[in-house]
Amino acid sequence: MTGRQVVIAIDAMGGDNSPFKVLKGTEIFLSKQKDTNVVFFGNKLLINNIIKKANLNLFNYEIIDTKDTISDEDNVNTILRSKKNSSIYMGLEYSKNNINSGFVSSGSTAAIMVLSRLHMGMIEGIDRPAICSLVPNKKSYSLMLDLGANVIVSGSNLFQFALMGFCYFSIINKNTKPKIGILNIGTENNKGLEFLQEAYDLITSSFLKDYFIGFIEPNRVTSGDCDIIISDGYTGNIMLKSAEGISNFITSKLKDIFSKSIINKIAYKLIENDLSILKNEVNPDIYNGASLIGLNGISVKSHGSANPVAFSYALKRCHNFITNDLNKKIINSIKNI
């Protein structure tokens, strides 16, 4: 997509510590991706004041003033009827109406999902969007979807998730023949609920059969044996949040151990470099930015508590989807089924 101008519409107001973290994250992103234009949606006066006060080096940007605010407590009817002048609503509307553009927000997941589908619609042949993100493993990372958009799914939905995940992976790792697996309670072909069995049959009846390894159990998610992990949103969300909780628990315990005594502090110094490498490998900042894949447009959800560095990775992910024509790849794959 060389030669085409990329524009990213950014919700400046969503998430913790916004708009500062959004503006600082954009500064980090633009320092590495200078050919991108950004449009901030939010309180214009506040945004300008923070840019000036923090002495941020921002360029190629525009600010569109918005008045409404969407909170996590707002229901769907309120979002659709009374929040049309919010940063999420207007940012998504802008992205839909401008070519080579995408949208990034740390705001309400429900609002982003509802308004993304309203403004962008679905790719023809895809019934539902899926929340798709990277998760670290022993070898590098895996792609997992769905992580919460769809609590109830059919086998056909899971097949579509597998197809979209395959297209996503071809962008982020062009040199690997990905392995696709379905998250299940066992690896045997007769294990699991009916919709999992149906998805299994659909995948093995398509071109994806050459990449399909069958069912995988949750304890193998971080093994690196599977590159694309398919799940319903309910299971995927529980899996993700359980992993986050366990990770935080282990990190907390390690801190307690290494600060417990002088000997332990010395031990920490001896292995400090190795621990630093481990920390970088599982650093959640570099995996920030979940795509609502399947939409007829690019919409990326950053974690609400993301710091500026993490937010810059969400912007990077959005830019990558635009420049590599993710949706075009999905459309072509559907045509080839």
Residue type, 205: S
Q: For residue 58, which amino acid is it?
A: L
pLDDT of residue 1: 40
Taking only the tens place, the pLDDT of each residue in 227-237 is 999 999 999 99
pLDDT above 90: residue 262: yes
- From 126-135, 241-250, 272-281, 295-304, the region with the lowest mean pLDDT: 272-281
Ramachandran bin of 42, using left for φ above 0, alpha for ψ from -120 to 50, beta for the remaining angles: left
For a pLDDT cut of 90, what percent of the chain falls above it? Answer: 66
CA distance 160 to 146: 11
The overall average pLDDT reported for the chain is: 91
**Fold category of 127-285 in CATH:** Isopropylmalate Dehydrogenase (3.40.718)
Cis link prior to 19 (omega < 30° from 0)? Answer: yes
Phi-psi region of 293 (alpha: psi -120 to 50; beta: other; left: phi over 0): beta
- CB-CB contact of 23 with 315 (8 Å): no
Q: Is 20 exposed, middle or buried (0-12, 13-18, 19+ CB in 10 A)?
A: middle
Whether 314 and 289 have beta carbons less than 8 Å apart is answered as yes
Per-residue confidence (pLDDT) for residue 284, from 0 to 100 = 76
CB contact burial 155-182 (16+ within 10 A = b; e otherwise): bebbbbbbbbbbbbbeebeeeeebbbbb
Q: What's the pLDDT score for residue 278?
A: 78
| Residue 38: closest CA among 28, 50, 53 | 28
Task: Tell me the C-alpha distance between 279 and 177, whole Å.
Answer: 28
Q: Please, which pLDDT band fits residue 291 given cuts at 50, 70 and 90?
A: very high
Question: Mean pLDDT over residues 304-308, rounded?
Answer: 92
Same fold, 1-125+294-337 and 127-285: yes
3-state DSSP: the chain helix, strand, coil percent, rounded to 5? 50, 15, 35
Residue 62 near residue 260, CB atoms below 8 Å: no
Residue 292: CB atoms within 10 A of its CB come to: 22
Class of domain 1-125+294-337: alpha beta
CA distance linking residue 12 with residue 19, whole number of Å: 5
Mean pLDDT of 109-118: 92
In sequence order, the 6+-apart residues with CB closer than 8 A to the CB of 75 are none
Q: How confident is the model at residue 208 (pLDDT cuts 50, 70, 90)?
A: very high
Confidence at residue 104, expressed as pLDDT on a 0 to 100 scale: 98
| 123: helix, strand or coil | coil
**Residue ranges with strand state E in the chain:** 6-11, 36-42, 61-65, 101-105, 130-136, 141-145, 180-183, 212-216, 228-230, 290-293, 299-301
Closest-CA residue to 158 (of 200, 114, 215, 186): 200
Q: What is the pLDDT of residue 2?
A: 47
CA-CA distances (angstroms) from residue 104 to 270, 289, 300, 321?
A: 41, 8, 5, 12
When pLDDT is cut at 50, 70 and 90, the band that residue 3 belongs to is low
Please provide the distance, in angstroms rounded to a whole number, between the alpha carbons at the two ends of the chain: 25
Q: How is the chain split into domains, by residue range?
A: 1-125+294-337, 127-285
